[in-house]
Amino acid sequence: MGVTRGTPAARQRTTAVLTAVVAAAIVIGILVVASRAPGPGRDSRAYPADRGTITLAGALGRAHVRIPDCLAGTLRYAVPGPSHDLYLMLNGSRPCLDQFTTINALTSEGATAELPAWAVDGRGETLGWRLDASRGYTLYTARPAPDHTIEALIRELSDASAYQAFVRAT
């Protein structure tokens, strides 16, 4: 007696199910390989403390901060914690820093003897910043939108031809 292999309809269903399983396995395999493929790479301007969950452009937009072209190549940044605070370090000439303060509507609060909490409570240190009030910072502030604040500590560097700004935007 011979072995019966089922009806033609049953064989068709089995073939269809096996085809669907193989196709699904191929699609899943492609998705796994694609998800592990290297992306565009980490932004070289990002500090190691940056979480990498948002691009610089996205972080600037969310914080309502604009960067003039003359500072775009010199900046460093991070969005390091669970909050969406953006930290920037900018280096440039006085005209470039003036442009930054102007386009962000920053107002000078004058020379500061006491630095804001974020500059001295370890948040700046995680980025490698060593901020010291004796270095002669001027504090600039702005509120570009409800629930958003920009604070910038700007100082003249020792050679008097360059300036440096440490910025926190929330």
DSSP the chain: -PPP---HHHHHHHHHHHHHHHHHHHHHHHHHHHHHS--S---TTB-TT---SS-HHHHHHHHT----HHHHTT-EEE--SSS--EEEEEEE-HHHHHHHHHHTT-EEEEE-SS--HHHHSSTTGGGT----GGG--EEEEEEEETTEEEEEEEEE-TTSS-EEEEEEE-
Highest mean pLDDT, choosing among 8-12, 50-54, 155-159 = 50-54
pLDDT, residue 115, reads 93
What is the pLDDT of the chain when averaged over all its residues?
Answer: 86
Is the pTM of the predicted complex or chain greater than 0.95? no
pLDDT over threshold 80, residue 42: no
| 165-169 average pLDDT score | 96
pLDDT digits (tens, 9 = 90+) for 83-126: 889 999 999 999 999 999 999 999 999 898 889 999 988 888 88
* Cβ 161 vs Cβ 93: under 8 Å: yes
| 141-145 average pLDDT score | 89
